């Protein structure tokens, strides 16, 4: 039994024992749960994959004369300006003005909100174009200028949904090729895509949110941010395995962090052919080993985590809820699986190598005493389902 305070004291003294969620598996196998729970203080988890529901609040500061911006474009990508005079929210999935989208299917979606965020973090100049109707106190009606992240007063990433606990495996059972947010899927279930950091994934290592909650300090693309709320679509009441690990989407986290402290290699615009643009953000979350039960959960391994296989040609778009079956991540990571009597090539969208790198970076920061753990201010809800949107004939 340990407390957050005890672990933080050890971290500050440079004496904490920290392992990644990858390393802890063999460690516990070798030393046993009881001994390991005494010895190990922190297990680092991480994920680095495309995740829509990302964006950022930006404050430009005031021009001379002042302007109350009502419409704004950053590198021609529209940002939501209905926040305040010089505050905007830029969404990761926003397309660039005049992007032909899927007019010529499949569209390429080469540049959008996520790419602008990548440029900002990389310190590159972007064009701000803004319009207004003009007021007595804010007379300017038009602005065009070039700015980089250092010109901004604030650039705060706010991701309403991240770190999906588990996720669908996408296949295509139809006769024609399809393009989805999980990539290109050949007809006749010839390939599949999964998207998870698997045994490194934060919420797969803490399936009932015993340590990760609202207020938990996190590593987000190099900055130290925190979980500010449950993520949108947080739906922990789902089918779970004997090890309590969800067998579908389940929990999510809402994250925030200061973009001025982020590293560009972990904030990456994503182009999904035929689908749209998005953003991949690298996230690392430490799990304090307060007791044996918490440690036990962190020893989860790929073959014990099951993901639902869903047909993205019919069942997913039609929201039938049908699951074709389950595959574990050890099979999926092997690159080829047998499913419904077919040989299916397995591809990924989330970077395991990237997640491993982040778990190691976070481990090094904790070892060096640069990252202290915080206990949550409030726990995440453990019972909740996702509601569909009902289309009503009248009110």
- The residues that touch another protein, with contacts defined as CB under 8 A, are 48-50, 110, 183-184, 191, 193, 265, 268-273, 280, 333-335, 345-354, 356
Asked whether 387 and 232 are in contact (CB, 8 A), the reply is no
Nearer to another protein, 118 or 230 (CB): 118
Q: In what order do the strands lie in the sheet with 336-339?
A: 325-328, 306-311, 169-171, 191-194, 342-348, 336-339
Q: How far is the CB of 49 from another protein (least distance, A)?
A: 7
For another protein, the closer of residues 51 and 58 by Cβ is 51
Helices (H), 170-323: 292-298, 315-318
The smaller minimum CB distance to another protein, of residues 58 and 310, is found at 310
Cβ 265 to another protein, closest distance in Å?
8
Note the Cα 208 to chain centre separation in Å: 18
Q: Are 176 and 20 in contact (CB under 8 A)?
A: no
Q: Closest separation between CB of residue 269 and another protein, Å?
A: 8
Phi-psi label, residue 274: left if phi above 0, alpha if psi -120 to 50, beta otherwise: left
Q: For the CB of residue 200, give the shortest distance to another protein in the complex, in Å.
A: 11
Look at the chain and count its residues.
Answer: 395
45-74 in b/e burial notation, b at 16+ Cβ within 10 A?
bbbbbbbbbbbbbbbbeeeeeebbbeebbb
Q: Give min distance, CB of 86 to another protein, in A.
A: 31
Enclosing H/E stretch for 333: helix 329-333
- Classify the phi-psi angles of 162: left when phi > 0, otherwise alpha if psi is within -120 to 50, otherwise beta: beta
Q: Are 127 and 146 spatial neighbours (Cβ–Cβ below 8 Å)?
A: yes
- How many other C-beta atoms lie within 10 A of the C-beta of residue 139? 12
Taking the C-alpha atoms of residue 135 and residue 107, their distance in angstroms, rounded to an integer, is 40
């Amino acid at each position: 039994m340990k407390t957050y305070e005890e672990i933080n004291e050890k971290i500050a003294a440079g004496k904490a024992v920290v392992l990644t969620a990858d390393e802890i598996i063999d460690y516990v196998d070798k030393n046993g749960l009881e001994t390991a729970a005494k010895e190990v203080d922190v297990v680092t988890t991480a994920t680095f994959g495309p995740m829509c529901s990302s964006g950022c609040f930006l404050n430009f500061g005031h021009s001379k004369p002042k302007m109350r911006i009502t419409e704004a474009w950053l590198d021609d990508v529209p940002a939501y300006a209905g926040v305040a005079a010089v505050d905007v929210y830029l969404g990761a999935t926003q397309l660039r003005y005049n992007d032909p989208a899927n007019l010529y299917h499949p569209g390429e979606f080469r540049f959008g909100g996520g790419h602008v965020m990548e440029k900002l973090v990389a310190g590159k100049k972007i064009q701000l174009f803004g319009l207004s109707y003009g007021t007595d106190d804010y007379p300017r009606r038009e602005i065009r200028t070039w700015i980089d992240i250092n010109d901004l007063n604030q650039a705060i990433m706010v991701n309403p949904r991240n770190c999906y606990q588990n996720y669908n495996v996408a296949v295509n059972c139809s006769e024609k090729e399809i393009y989805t947010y999980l990539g290109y899927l050949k007809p006749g279930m010839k390939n599949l895509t999964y998207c998870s950091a698997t045994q490194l994934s934060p919420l797969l290592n803490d399936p009932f949110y015993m340590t990760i909650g609202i207020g938990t300090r996190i590593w987000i693309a190099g900055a130290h941010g925190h979980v500010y709320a449950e993520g949108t679509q947080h739906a922990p009441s789902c089918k779970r395995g004997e090890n309590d690990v969800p067998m579908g989407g389940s929990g999510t986290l809402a994250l925030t962090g200061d973009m001025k402290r982020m590293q560009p290699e972990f904030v990456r615009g994503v182009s999904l052919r035929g689908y749209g643009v998005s953003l991949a953000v690298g996230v690392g979350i430490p799990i304090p080993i307060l007791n044996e039960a918490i440690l036990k959960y962190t020893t989860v391994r790929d073959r014990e985590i099951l993901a639902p296989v869903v047909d993205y040609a019919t069942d997913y778009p039609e929201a039938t809820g049908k699951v074709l079956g389950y595959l574990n991540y050890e099979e999926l990571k092997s690159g080829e699986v047998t499913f419904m009597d077919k040989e299916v090539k397995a591809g990924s969208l989330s970077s395991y190598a990237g997640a491993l790198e982040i778990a190691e970076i976070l481990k090094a920061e904790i070892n060096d005493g640069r990252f202290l753990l915080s206990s949550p201010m409030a726990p995440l809800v453990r019972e909740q389902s996702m509601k569909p949107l009902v289309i009503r004939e009248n009110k």
